[in-house]
Structure 1
């Protein structure tokens, strides 16, 4: 009888392995993994150890030793084992630090393989649980089908034959487990004979159905291939649909959700954190932005290396610095920091500056736009005097300033009046442009507004884009925030314009010359606000929630005004009351947290062995408790009730016993009486203890006879049954 039981278990394990094998077969095609055999051997060995019920103190060292051997065979490159082991520990230390800093994309292949081995370790344990204890495999079967269909749809892997194999193996496995559950529930005699009689016709029927389905003619697909279909929809989505984030030239219709895109656009090496500016626009239409004609302003040609001051450098002259750009996605426009002086590129040709857009574009000698793969920009990072900023309270007289005021305070005729009313309400107590701009900027950092990329409305016909955001939705991304601030400033006759380009990007460390390296992706495409100060030029502001302005303000005031002090105090209170926003700003401003990250990194590198050992020790302890729960839980229950004397403990102990019996497979059927269930349990254990306990429980529950339980005697029966559940687990 025992041999037949082992044979049935072996068949279940074999079918479970074949399902798990389907997870490993595509790896060579969809990843760079070329050593799949080690993972397959590991799965087979793990399942065999489970089949023979090897204790954890044997299986864990064996599995760990094989993982170490496999990693050495794959990644050692003939290095001596001791040296490679030292390298392995170093990679684990570095990659664990990257995991803790959520830099998951840069993990090394060795560390990824180690994690995959640990994942397979867990899956093989779950297979044993599903096959031998729960007798249910549908969840894993469904996950396997879903996994293969995803790979077949979105990768080069052809899952046609894999689906056939999965259907065949899965149906047999599901039917065997279902039939086994029925036989165990009904306690039929000759279970193995019945299983053997059913397996042959069952397998034959499934084989026949699969073959007929495979050979039958198939109709053409009704739906198109989802990959090109989705890509085309993403690229050609009309107004009101979902667009893909990134730099674009058409800003006439703003609004609507967009999809994230983490493709790398460029890497820049420089000493300062910057906005990466591309262009500005000056005419707000009520729906978006366009560039005005600006008669009299002609394009200018600039040679590579020629110094041309396009941006004011503020009130304080800083040293000349360099920013070195390397592009993964090329554009003909030039991405530049504030304080631009010159561009040095590898290509021949020239640059063309369009003052309407404040935009630089690269051209070849024959007047064609060219995409530069790399270039270096010289610039002076601007610094602005706070004293001069707060001294600006209006536009000076003069023809040039009159034109500037007309161009950069333009607003649609039908702009709702409540937009200007809100701006006046927010800035009424301030007498200078800078504090007014800060007040409007701070308004968007309150809890009324939410940064969101998906649930973003598109203004209806006749509805103003800014008015909708300020008073109706209060939910959006950088275009909503920046456009609204520009419009509110213009309603106060403060010259402002809409700037676009890229946010500073993600800090990636330092280069050999101590410059900082930033990676900018399509997700960093961004828009912000520029406000004109006659004595200083255009100053950037950042209203978008969760972003931080990298502009350098020199606090050179001797004594601040009462209004300024009040505003600064209010700003501090706002920041203190919004810890989540502060954390978001720190995430966007890595310069402010470099020192903190360095300290955390130094601590980890110094004590990595202690931390790693503690993590491993905790993991082993947790795993040991989980694997041995069927041994220590009964003993804990016995110990808990051992010294209790009151009869009231009997009810709780009896209910715990029912749950314990259910967990080891002795389930009570719906509608089954306690006496009938007790008889089944006694029949299984060849005892009468459960019936005696049930009789006492019923007298206590229904007759309310508290003296009928005889707790000392009942406790002895209860402990015997708890111990028998332990023996049942060992046999399984």
Structure 2
């Protein structure tokens, strides 16, 4: 058994530096690609990480390069087939026709795109890094490039902090450089290396302690304000702008000097008392939702409009809650008559971000909770029946659930019922808070509401008139021009001065105009549905058949910070609360009676000067195209002039050396070059012995080898300083030798 262990150990330690380099390269790429979390699908990460793992394992376990590469490619293709949704397409063409075979093969490859090309590119980069493992400057350059790219991405390209990835890459780089140094030392001084291995603790423990201390200091020392400000932060602050904290408060900036410049990032807001600042879209994922029907994911509701935004009203703050005591407990929605038809929607939420929200999201209203974190007992949650909110207690210290499953009973949009019976009468059951408007509200807002709804027969028709007006006459922008605002009231400024904004503008305007007509309304915030994974086959079948293949919109949606949204719920007597979407470009996914079609919102946008300008601008090339093109050109020029650049670099490095030192160095470089070309050289033999052996093998270069040997011995052992002319003659001789031996 001991003999087996020894053979196994010897087998695994053969080419140990090669295997350790493969591990380092895989870890380096694994950490680096994590910065692409906002842009890659989960399947992409699974395939790429699998390729890195299999490639590393194959290098460690399979000595043969050919069989190792073969195994890696087989697994690469297998992972792509397993996770890309690939389906086998039988060959149906002419077996003697090359074109048919090409089309058949292309149809298979197309199914694997883009996963195949991404994983294949990572695999090639991985092997290139491993192949260049013996060049210490390359290792330093690779680690530096990875760190620089992560620093740029952390500051400019992604809202996610990449400090952990940067720390791990630095740790990997230090470990790789230490491993490279030991490998080089072992080759140059094998006897000394064997001696050092007799004391492994003395050799490796100090290195481990130093690296651990450096990394630990970076992780655990108290945070202090940096003495030097990084260039990006300095540039932003010089412009009077704030560097976003990326917490996810859309349109809410913590800087008192913020304007419409878009310092904030889109996301679920925590404070809605002051709305209106611009924001940048943050496409980082928040959660995934597996649902039986496409829906808006409802969060909180606010009823008190203060002229600048929304607050919780005293009625909402004092609302009695029902504690959630067990799974499948029925949660009764307030102000929802039993006669209103509903549709059950089951949803499973998987939370990606670590943010803590005050409520559980869901299609409104939630009726039962089926599971939370797969726990036997649900966490402490309170159901607010009037607000339709499933809240955590105010002083709850627990973490937000990683996953939960709920069932919602969504009101069905029955237009016939809304245009007849009790729904046509003024609301009597709603609390007066849902009609509240500030006394300072400009009269022209009320006049506009009355003018728009004067011809509508029912409350439902009045609300639709208001929705259509907002969608037709106002444009969506995430960076509204606040310089146009003169009015102190948020809605008045939007309706009569700015005339453009994002969802908070549209939803608040609809709520205020609805209340101005005497119809109860409340403001709601949460998330729009998000996006389904792109399925080209379904799209092809749907477009070809001319029918909707998934009318309910069932599936797993990825919800991002950019999907944070607000809308309005309106109360109709005898019917209850019903959501309305006023924001241009959005459409609420209503539940409908059988054989009914959803009302199509009017989305025509008036032609503005901006629209004409964009149309006239014609073909537009993004700025990044120029940067990429310039970078490719620089790389091509560098590749074509590589030898000249390296010669210039060597001349620069050797500029301060004496002529004798330069000849000695060039002789050693010539010997290394000869070894690469297949000429024998023993590490312990002299230059004279090497040149004599080479002269025996390459008799046509005997005089040149003799000249190099003489110059080396004179430069190395003589007290004379050689002249520049002698150095140039020797350099020319070495150049002839290189050219003659290939």
Per the normalisation by structure 2, the TM-score is 0.47
What TM-score, normalized by structure 1, do the two folds share?
Answer: 0.48
